[in-house]
Chains A and B, each alone.
Chain A
Amino acid sequence: MDLRKIQLITATKWLCYVLLVFFASILQGTPGLFVLFSVKPVLILPVCVAVSALEGEYEGAFLGAFGGLLWDLSAGRIAGFFAILTAITCYYTGYLFKMYFRETRANIMLLNAGAITVIFMADFLFSYLLQDIPGVVNILIFQIFPTILYTALVSPILFRVVRKIHRKIKVKE
């Protein structure tokens, strides 16, 4: 297979990943969609974690940076906040997946739960705790933790979508 064809296949695959992140960011923010007891899942992060696990930690980090930027826009955070957190988290989850985890549903949920917990704890610290607003613990218990749980539960579905792209669009040796 010539180099040009390999580059085209790789570019197509990454275009699919980028479009998937775009689509996830739109679905994540759509009012009324996937709402359960006033809680919605984060969809961008599981997509980026899945790419990180399947393609490599650096690739996942770069896509995580892009997805994080979209997330900043949607969530009303300063540009770069979620981008940096998502990039670093995706890098480490990709590394951990490569070194220590097998590809099972429980492991994927655990990895995503860990990743989203790290990001939301950092967000809770800077966006709520340091603002010295009374009563923010309620938000942690009744909004943030349920969101983490819901995100972890839906993450295997997104992992399968990413895995399908990874397996279908690849260079045949």
Chain B
Amino acid sequence: MKKFFQTTKFKILVVILVAFAGVMTYLGASGKLSTVLQEVVMAITVPVRKVTSLFTGGLEEFVNKYVFIDDIIAENEALQEENEELRAQLLELDEYRAKIEMYEEELQIQEENPTFETVSASVIDRDPAAKYYSFTIDKGERNGIQVADVVITPSGVVGRVAEVGPNYAKVVTILDPSVYISCIVSRTRDNGMLQGSAEYSLDGFCTLTLLPRETIATQGDDVITTGNGGVFPKGLSVGVVQEVIPDSSGKSMVAVIEPSVDIQSVRTVVVITNYKAYEEADNNSVETD
């Protein structure tokens, strides 16, 4: 037994484990996840990951196109039916025009932000042990991305940047309970706090908490960001209400939200690189003066 502890290999292994423990302690104290060496390794492997990601994307397309042909035929028939319904709905446009005026205020919010600078990126890494479907994208500091930058798609909010390297960035999604977004139900104007949920994350849902008890929010209502908190800009689509249930304390209501984006399988995203909360606050105060 004594000889076991005296072997050189055992001593080397102990030294390595202690070194890792030291690195972990240092990184934990400094608030980082990765060492410089890991950033270098990741920077080197990003091009390879991009290639494999492209390959699986192409392979998936091929499989969907030729193997699941029955699904495609069924989808085609369904689309033709839908096309006929849509033609009938075109005749009712005038009726909807009046309702569109109601939503012009929300549309104006988006049109008022042409100064957003954005960077498109592809998802190159989704680890099986990643928490709440977080992922890595193929753009980083060199493209102007910084920690806490908002990640979106044309459909809605995906999450925010948690860590940045020279040519990669780690994104934490809105399914993560550590991500809080101040949101509002578009129709009823009820304020709430969007937060990921361990319970609902497996289904790809999150929750809108702190809704008032008397809320009339219901299934199908859109949820958008308010801009409060300074991380997420105002007016971004987050998702759609699926159901509204009382929270555990009974003092408020919780809405289960289906995100506008399929977080579990999103492949390309856009990062807003120049959103600054204080600039928006200044603009708002100028308008009210």
Contact = CB atoms under 8 A, between A and B. Distances in A.
Contacts of A139: 198, 201-202
A165 interface: no
Contact of B56 (A28, A33, A80, A135): A33
Given A26-B48, A81-B24, A84-B21, 11 more contacts: A26-B49, A31-B56, A41-B128, A58-B10, A65-B20, A76-B163, A76-B172, A80-B20, A84-B17, A133-B198, A147-B128
Interface stretch (B34-42, B84-92, B146-154, B235-243): B34-42
Given A62-B16, A80-B24, A135-B198, A30 B49 contact: yes
B129 interface: yes
B134 interface: yes
Contact of B127 (A28, A78, A120, A127): A28
A24 to B, nearest CB: 12
B53 interface: yes
Interface in A49-78: 58, 61-62, 65, 69-78
Chain A to chain B: the 5 pairs with minimum beta-carbon distance, closest first: A135-B199, A29-B125, A80-B24, A40-B128, A80-B20
A76 to B, nearest CB: 5
* Interface size range on B against A: 35 or more
B21 A80 contact: yes
Contacts of A71: 127, 129
A161 interface: no
B24 A79 contact: yes
Contact of B33 (A65, A79, A135): A79
Contacts of B172: 76
12 contacts: A26-B49, A28-B127, A28-B128, A30-B49, A30-B125, A32-B265, A65-B17, A69-B41, A72-B34, A120-B129, A134-B197, A147-B129
The secondary-structure label for the interface of chain A is helix
Contacts of B20: 65, 79-80, 83-84, 87
B128 A72 contact: no
A138 interface: yes
B23 A79 contact: yes
A61 B10 CA distance: 10
A169 interface: no
Given A31-B56, A76-B162, A84-B17, A22 B45 contact: yes
Contacts of A62: 12-13, 16
Interface of A: 22, 25-33, 38-42, 58, 61-62, 65, 69-84, 87-88, 91, 120, 123, 127-128, 131, 133-136, 138-139, 142-143, 147
A61 B15 CA distance: 12
Interface of B: 9-10, 12-13, 16-17, 20-21, 23-24, 27-28, 33-35, 38, 41-42, 45, 48-49, 52-53, 56-57, 60, 123-131, 134-136, 162-163, 170, 172, 177, 197-202, 264-265, 267
Contacts, number: 148
B202 A142 contact: yes
From B13, B123, B127, B265, residue with most partner A Cβ within 10 Å:
B127
Given A78-B27, A79-B24, A120-B129, A29 B49 contact: yes
From A27, A39, A58, A128, residue with most partner B Cβ within 10 Å:
A58
A121 to B, nearest CB: 12
Contact of B125 (A31, A39, A41, A81): A31
Contacts of A80: 20-21, 23-24, 27
A147 B44 CA distance: 28
Contacts of A87: 13, 16-17, 20
A27 B16 CA distance: 27
A62 B17 CA distance: 10
Nearest to A69: B38
A57 B86 CA distance: 66
Given A80-B23, A80-B24, A136-B198, A26 B52 contact: yes
B130 A31 contact: no
Contacts of A30: 49, 52-53, 56, 124-126
A76 B170 contact: yes
